[in-house]
Structure 1
C-alpha cells in the first residue's frame, strides 16, 4: 500500500511540474513576440521625419490701408529654401496673396505685407499642405 501511495505521489508531482513548465514556456513564448514587435514599432516610429509646422506672428494687429508690416515665424519639418506664402480669407475661401519668401537655414522667415481690404483680415502662412494657425490684422 505504501508503494502505491509513493507512485501516486510521484505521478502527481511529475504531472504538476510538467504542467508548470509548459505554462512557463507558453508565457515566455508569448512575451517574446510582443517584445520583438514593440522594439520594431519603436524603430519605425523613430525613423519618421518630423511633422511639418509653421508659426506666424504679425508685427502689428492694426494698420492703415497699404501700410507695410511684417509677418515673421519659424518652420519645422520644411527644407531650407522652401517657399512660404501668405493667404487671406476672402468670402469664406483662402486666397493666395503675392507675398512669399524662402525659408532660411535655421527655419525662420520674414515676410513684408501690405493689405488693402479694410476691416478684420484673417491671415495664415502656408507651404504645400502645411499651414500656420490663423491670425488677424485689422486694416483702417
Structure 2
C-alpha cells in the first residue's frame, strides 16, 4: 500500500472510533480489492452494428435477390430497412424484416431502376456499409 492510501484509511478508522466504535470504522473503510474489481468490470457496451451483403452483384430488372447480414448489439425483433442512395440522400425502400434470435436477418428484394444501385441496411441505431447491385 502506498503512504497516502494508508493515511486515508487510518483517518477513516480514527474518525469511526471517535464517532462510535470499531464496527462503524470498519464499515466505513473501503475495500481496495472490491473497488478495483468493480472499476475493471465496467466495460463500455458494444456499439450497434449491421453487416449486409447481396446474394447477387448483378440482376435483371425486377429479378428477386436476397440481402442478408448480421446484427451486433441489436435486440432480436428490431426492424431493419433497406435503403437506396439517391444523390446524397438515403431513401427507405419497402423491404423490411426483423432481426431474428440468432442476430441475423434475410430479406427478399426486387429492383427495377436500371444501372448501379447503391444500397445499405439501417435499423437499431446502426447502418451497414454501402454495397452495389447492378440492374441490367
TM-score, normalising length: structure 2: 0.72
In the TM superposition, residue 129 of structure 1 has moved relative to its aligned partner by 2.2
- Aligned pair count reads 114
Of 50, 56, 64, which aligns to 1:54? 50
Matched, 1:125 2:103: no
Matched, 1:137 2:94: no
Of 13, 21, 25, which aligns to 2:3? 25
In the TM superposition, residue 42 of structure 1 has moved relative to its aligned partner by 2.1
- CA RMSD after TM alignment: 2.6
Any stretches of 5+ residues in structure 1 without a counterpart?
1-23, 30-34
In the TM superposition, residue 99 of structure 1 has moved relative to its aligned partner by 0.1
Residue deviations 1:12-67 (CA, integer Å, cap 9, x gap): xxxxxxxxxxxx624877xxxxx88764432221xx43321111110000011111
Higher helix share: 1
> In structure 1, the residue corresponding to 2:42 is in which secondary structure?
helix
- Runs (4+) of structure 1 exceeding 4 A deviation are 26-29, 35-40
Of 95, 101, 106, which aligns to 1:99? 95
C-alpha change, 1:119 and 1:28, in structure 2 (3 Å) is: farther
CA distance in 2, matches of 1:37, 1:104: 38
Partner of 1:9: none
1:40-119 matches, within 5 Å, as 40-45=38-43, 48-119=44-115
CA distance in 2, matches of 1:92, 1:130: 18
C-alpha change, 1:40 and 1:118, in structure 2 (3 Å) is: same
Rg: which structure is higher? Answer: 1
Any stretches of 5+ residues in structure 2 without a counterpart?
8-32
CA distance in 2, matches of 1:52, 1:63: 30
In the TM superposition, residue 128 of structure 1 has moved relative to its aligned partner by 3.5
